[in-house]
Amino acid sequence: MTKLVVVINGHPRSGKDTAVEFLMNALIDTGVATWAMSSIDPVRELLAPVSDLSAKTEADRLLLAEIGRAVETHSDWRTRQVVQFAASMFYQAADEPAVLFVHMREPDLMRKLNAMLTEALPEVGFFTAFVDRPDAIPVTSNEADAAVTSMRYDLTIHNYGDLHRLEQVCRSLADRLLGEIAA
């Protein structure tokens, strides 16, 4: 399989964005095309004319979670957006190895995404990864953040030290992903 979708999750401030950046850099160094997106980005873009949500306050997180859940319940919109983005990027990559990292909070959406990808892009591999950091503070004020640890992930990224240590952990994980791509 030459294409992978890796869903990234973890508590706020656990280092998810930094881990994805390190993973992408390690994969790019080996010639793998990479992209990253958040499944909440379409909702954030939808609400942009109404509200600045860049601060990621508790109220912002609650609004995004509630609107995101509503549009997903109504039409699978968020999950379909991720599948469409994956299909578009993987089409552009043609025969190149490629990895799409997706920030997604809700375990039920991860399972739905896996099913939708399996149907739409059966040749694409799928993994979930949890970024674990001991001093990350769990958020329980909204359904999306509260469910972060309610599932079992395929991979765990241990963010237990400084940035150099996290980069080493991510390079090791990138090697594992390269093995999956080559399989």
Confidence of residue 143 (pLDDT cuts 50, 70, 90): confident
Which pLDDT score is estimated for 1?
A: 64
Residue with tokens 């600045």: 52
Domains of the chain (ranges; CATH) run: 3-182 (3.40.50.300)
Secondary structure in 3-state letters for 127-151: EEEEEECCCCCCCCCCHHHHCCCCC
Which pLDDT score is estimated for 169?
A: 96
Residue 53 CA: distances (Å) to CA of 48, 89, 107, 136, 181: 7, 26, 23, 21, 36
Tell me the percentage of the chain whose pLDDT exceeds 90.
61
d(CA 20, CA 60): 23
Give me the half-sphere count of Cα atoms (radius 13 Å) on the Cβ side of residue 179: 6
Residue with tokens 């997706």: 102
Show the tokens assigned to 153: 């992930």
